């Protein structure tokens, strides 16, 4: 097994519950880019097993494309005397390397021999490559449709056409601001020729209209990448001899599919970035600072890969001298309409609270404001409260507008419901609200969550069935607010292996 890599792709992951799923997604993109879909399952299992032994520290995953195999390395800082398990996946080689305080767990997966036979079959001088091309085109379309990462698409394009259509491939992407032309990705049948080829290409102006060019000893075919009437880039194919006539048609077919995949990936990335930016704008801009007598903690996790806006929200802010407000809400639905109600609710709460309105009066006015949205209105569940430090602890004046019940944990381990649910917001114009006063003695803990916690589902069972949340909360006696929030969050995640389909917000207020 040779150790000379033809290509290397790496990514670093922060510790946490999302690290291993993110490493698996990165591995899937690598396998897609390298046309190694047959190794996807063992590759994902390897990265999961190796990353699972990182002891909650940042780690780096490095995939190397060897001549006849794929090598994975999982690197992290680790000074402990750790015993590493043998991979459960059949591998060519595996081991652990120690350099200073860095530990590297590595293994090599052998590439199937059929890939080489396919390349040889394509290069053979056949009277007709039509049937072979149809299968190749179908495989290429599947690979291009397999990722929505715009940075991975150029790599996939290059790996598709080399070596079947050309000796090397350079993919260029055009930026709106112009600038020097540099390949977004460059692939060569001989990795030793990549540096020289990159230097040759640096002196060439790639025409956006396409065509045939001579680059030193190479004939270069430039195929424009056009999608939806826009020029996204160019695919440059090179070989030492002349391109056969049928290759021009094949390259154009690949170019059309590649451009569409590139455009779809860019649109998806743009939408995802816009969603994340909008989601951030709907959350509190800052922490409220030190609150006398209160130990607060918040956990917020939006659901979905693109963190679609809308859903749950929370807030904790100063509303005057020795007075603070908190809110936990859940807007029906997702998307722009729900986001509009989320923004309206959070800003209205802050504005009216600072104008001196009580919690019940705030909800009265917010209910009317939501109804005035007309067709854009969405009903909203909300728990809103005012916190005032008193000599014996904290007085909390609260209103629950159809929200999941708020729970109080006593130092004795007793858990009770502290507020009665009233009407939803945005449903009944005549609805009025009444605040309820709850006292928290030192050591008492108040828990407020959204239905992303209470309705976490495992088959036909919900987490809060038979008082499940209260039982879980009762086990948190003596913990800080942060520890309580984290324990609830972990319990929600561990309740089922299925990814969450709903946002989750957890607010913990502990009287000191």
Asked if residue 142 and residue 55 are part of one domain, the reply reads no
Q: 421 in a domain, yes or no?
A: yes
* Contacts for 222-227: CB closer than 8 Å, 24+ residues apart: 223/251, 223/252, 223/254, 223/255, 224/255, 224/259, 225/171, 225/173, 225/255, 225/258, 225/259, 225/262, 226/255, 226/256, 226/259, 227/259, 227/260, 227/262, 227/263
* Residue 209, domain member (yes or no): yes
- The answer to whether residue 32 is domain-embedded is yes
Which of the listed ranges 135-139, 250-254, 331-335 does the model predict with the highest average pLDDT? 250-254
Domain of 82, CATH number, reads 3.30.565.10
293 and 264 within one domain: no
DSSP 437-482: EEEE-TT-EEEEE-HHHHT-EETTEETTGGGHHHHHHHTTTT--HH
Write the burial class of residue 175 (CB in 10 Å: 0-12 exposed, 13-18 middle, 19+ buried).
exposed
Residue 263 and residue 230 share a domain: yes
Q: What is the mean pLDDT of residues 37-44?
A: 84
pLDDT surpassing 70 at residue 113: no
119 band by pLDDT with thresholds 50, 70 and 90: very low
Whether 365 shows a pLDDT value over 90: the answer reads yes
> Is residue 132 very low, low, confident or very high in pLDDT (cuts 50, 70, 90)?
low
> How far, in Å, CA of 328 to CA of 316, rounded?
9
Overall pTM > 0.85: no
What confidence tier does 125 reach under pLDDT thresholds 50, 70, 90?
very low
Condensed to tens digits (0 to 9), the pLDDT of residues 164-195 reads: 888 999 999 987 655 567 888 998 888 788 88
Look over the chain and give the mean of its residue pLDDT values, rounded to a whole number. Answer: 84
| pLDDT tens per residue across span 372-422 | 887 767 889 999 999 999 999 999 999 999 999 999 999 999 999 999 999
Q: Tell the residue number behind the tokens 């680790």, with chain if given.
A: 78
DSSP 193: G
Q: pLDDT category, 311, cuts 50, 70, 90?
A: confident
Residues 16 and 136 in one domain: no
Whether residue 1 is contained in a domain is answered as no
The CATH number linked to 233 is 3.30.450.40
What is the structure's pLDDT at 117?
Answer: 44
Q: Are residues 254 and 105 in the same domain?
A: no
Cα–Cα distance between 357 and 323 in angstroms, integer?
Answer: 12
In a domain, 2, yes or no: no
What sign for the dihedral angle of Cα 250, 253, 259, 260? negative
For 181, the domain range is 117-277
Range with lowest mean pLDDT among 73-82, 321-330, 479-488: 73-82
Interval 45-96: pLDDT, tens: 999 999 887 767 888 999 988 877 899 999 888 756 556 678 888 888 888 8
Please name every residue paired with 189 in a beta bridge, in sequence order, or none if there are none: none
Nearest to 330 by CA among 350, 316, 309, 311: 311
| pLDDT band, very low/low/confident/very high, at 149 (cuts 50, 70, 90) | confident
152 shares a domain with 100: no
Q: Summarize the confidence of residues 274-295 as an average pLDDT.
A: 77
Same domain, yes or no: 292 and 420: yes
């Amino acid at each position: 097994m040779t150790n000379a890599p033809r290509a290397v792709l790496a990514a670093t992951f922060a510790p946490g519950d999302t690290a291993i799923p993110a490493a698996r997604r990165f591995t899937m993109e690598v396998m897609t880019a390298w046309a190694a879909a047959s190794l996807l399952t063992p590759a994902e299992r390897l990265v999961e097993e190796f990353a699972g032994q990182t002891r909650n520290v940042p780690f780096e995953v490095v995939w190397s494309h060897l001549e006849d195999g794929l090598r994975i390395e999982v690197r992290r800082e680790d000074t402990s005397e750790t015993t590493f398990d043998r991979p459960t996946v059949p591998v060519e080689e595996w081991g652990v390397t120690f350099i200073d305080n860095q530990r590297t767990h590595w293994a090599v997966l052998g590439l199937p021999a059929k890939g080489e036979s396919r390349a040889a079959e394509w290069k053979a001088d056949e009277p007709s490559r039509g049937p072979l091309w149809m299968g190749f085109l179908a495989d290429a379309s599947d690979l291009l449709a397999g990722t929505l990462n715009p940075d991975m698409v150029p790599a996939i394009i290059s790996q598709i056409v080399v070596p079947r259509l050309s000796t090397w491939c350079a993919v260029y992407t055009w930026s709106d601001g112009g600038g020097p032309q540099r390949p977004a990705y460059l692939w060569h049948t001989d990795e030793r020729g990549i540096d020289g080829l990159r230097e040759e290409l640096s002196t060439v102006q790639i025409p956006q209209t396409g065509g045939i060019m001579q680059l030193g000893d190479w004939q270069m075919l430039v195929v424009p990448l056009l999608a939806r009437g826009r020029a996204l880039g160019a695919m440059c194919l090179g070989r030492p001899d002349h391109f056969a006539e049928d290759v021009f048609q094949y390259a154009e077919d690949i170019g059309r599919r590649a451009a569409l995949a590139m455009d779809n990936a860019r649109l998806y990335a743009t939408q995802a970035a816009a969603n994340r930016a909008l989601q951030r704008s709907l959350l509190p801009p800052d922490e409220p600072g030190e609150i006398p007598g209160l130990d607060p903690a918040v956990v917020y996790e939006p659901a979905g890969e693109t963190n679609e806006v809308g859903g749950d929200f929370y807030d904790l802010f100063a509303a005057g001298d020795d007075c603070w407000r908190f809110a936990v809400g859940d807007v029906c639905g997702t998307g722009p309409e729900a986001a509009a109600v989320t923004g309206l609710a959070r800003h209205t709460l802050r504005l009216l609270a600072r104008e001196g309105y009580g919690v019940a009066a705030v909800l009265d006015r917010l209910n009317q404001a939501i109804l005035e949205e007309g067709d854009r209105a969405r009903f909203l569940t909300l728990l809103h409260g005012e916190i005032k430090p008193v000599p014996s602890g904290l007085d909390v004046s609260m209103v629950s507008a159809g929200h999941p019940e708020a729970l109080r944990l006593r130092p004795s381990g007793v858990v009770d419901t502290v507020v009665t649910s009233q009407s939803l917001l945005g449903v009944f114009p005549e609805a009025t609200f009444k605040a309820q006063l709850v006292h928290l003695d030192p050591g008492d803990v108040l828990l407020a969550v959204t239905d992303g916690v209470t309705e976490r589902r495992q088959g036909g069972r919900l987490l809060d069935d038979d008082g499940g949340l209260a039982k879980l909360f009762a086990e948190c006696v003596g913990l800080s607010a942060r520890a309580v929030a984290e324990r609830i969050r972990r319990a929600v995640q561990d309740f089922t292996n299925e990814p969450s389909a709903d946002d989750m917000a957890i607010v913990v207020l502990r009287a000191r």
